[in-house]
Amino acid sequence: MITMDDIVREGHPVLRQVADEVSLPPSEEEKHTLTEMLQYLINSQDEEMAEKYNLRPGVGLAAPQIGLSKRMIAVHFTDFDEQEYSMGLFNPKIMSHSVEKTYLSTGEGCLSVDRDVPGYVPRYARITVKGTDLNGNEVKLRLKGYAAIVFQHEIDHLNGIMFYDHINKEDPFNVPENAKPAD
Ligand SMILES: Cc1nc(NNC(=O)[C@H](CC2CCCC2)CN(O)CO)c(F)c(N2CCN3CCOC[C@@H]3C2)n1
Ligand code: NI
């Protein structure tokens, strides 16, 4: 199982690389790894497992965070409309996005960042994502708000981008005029 010992921390070059496309169909090993990434999220949200294995809770995870520079992400969360997302995706790609932005009023954190970085992280309010799921099916997702934020955070990791790269350096709590909080 994946534990915090497997999560690389900021400063490791893999977090600043552009990850490689996974050639399709994914190998058994790639499918196993993506399944393990999803399992980490599920375990991390289970109080007993998180306590027992000292897991930081997570709603998303990207392969570079376990040292694997491949375009693979896993997400496990329920959004504010009670819509559940629990999936692994190969080669996720943002096909289109709104001009309008959104952000989490709590700011963001990252399993690869062992410090608090205060500030709003402006992200697209709505995105359309395409990718291939663990069953080898192509999926097309239209996401907004919280779900859009989580997927953007993960896809950023595949492009070597950390959440704090988006925070306004002069005024971390500056809100762009076209942005509304997701929560
Ligand atoms: C928002 C949130 N971020 C948590 N952690 N950070 C992460 O997931 C990072 C990714 C998220 C940071 C902002 C957007 C994506 C991991 N990242 O580094 C991957 O790249 C949480 F843990 C969390 N929740 C709320 C839901 N709760 C259900 C019950 O179980 C606990 C769980 C806690 N919400
Ligand atoms: Ni992260």
What residues does ligand 1 touch, defined as CB less than 6 Å away? 45, 57-62, 65, 77, 108-112, 149-150, 153-154, 157
Distance from the alpha carbon of residue 176 to the mean position of ligand 2, in angstroms? 22
Would you give the distance in Å from CA 101 to the centre of its chain? 17
Q: To test the ligand 1 pocket, which listed residue (40, 59, 123) has its Cβ within 8 A of the most ligand atoms?
A: 59
One-letter amino acid of 174: N
- Tokens 């998180």 belong to residue: 50
Per-residue pLDDT tens digits for 28-50 = 999 999 999 999 999 999 999 99
What pLDDT sits at residue 117?
98
* Phi then psi dihedrals of residue 141, to 5 deg: -115, 130
45's tokens: 């949200």
Residue with the nearest Cα to atom 5 of ligand 1? 58
What pLDDT sits at residue 176?
86
Q: Which helix (H) or strand (E) holds 126?
A: strand 126-133
What pLDDT sits at residue 85?
98
Kindly indicate the confidence band of residue 97, based on its pLDDT and cuts at 50, 70 and 90: very high
CA distance 136 to 118: 38
Please state whether the peptide bond connecting residue 25 to the residue before it is cis, i.e. omega within 30 degrees of 0.
yes
Selection from 45, 117, 120, 118 nearest residue 78 by Cα = 45
CA distance 2 to 172: 33
Strand, coil or helix: 62: strand
- Mean pLDDT of the residues in the chain: 98
Distance from the alpha carbon of residue 171 to the mean position of ligand 2, in angstroms? 22
Of 36, 138, 154, 170, which one is the catalytic site residue? 154
| CB-based contact 37:2 (threshold 8 Å) | yes
User: Is 154 tagged catalytic?
Assistant: yes
Reported ipTM: 0.99
Per-residue pLDDT tens digits for 13-27 = 999 999 999 999 999
Distance from the alpha carbon of residue 63 to the mean position of ligand 2, in angstroms? 10
CA distance 123 to 152: 7
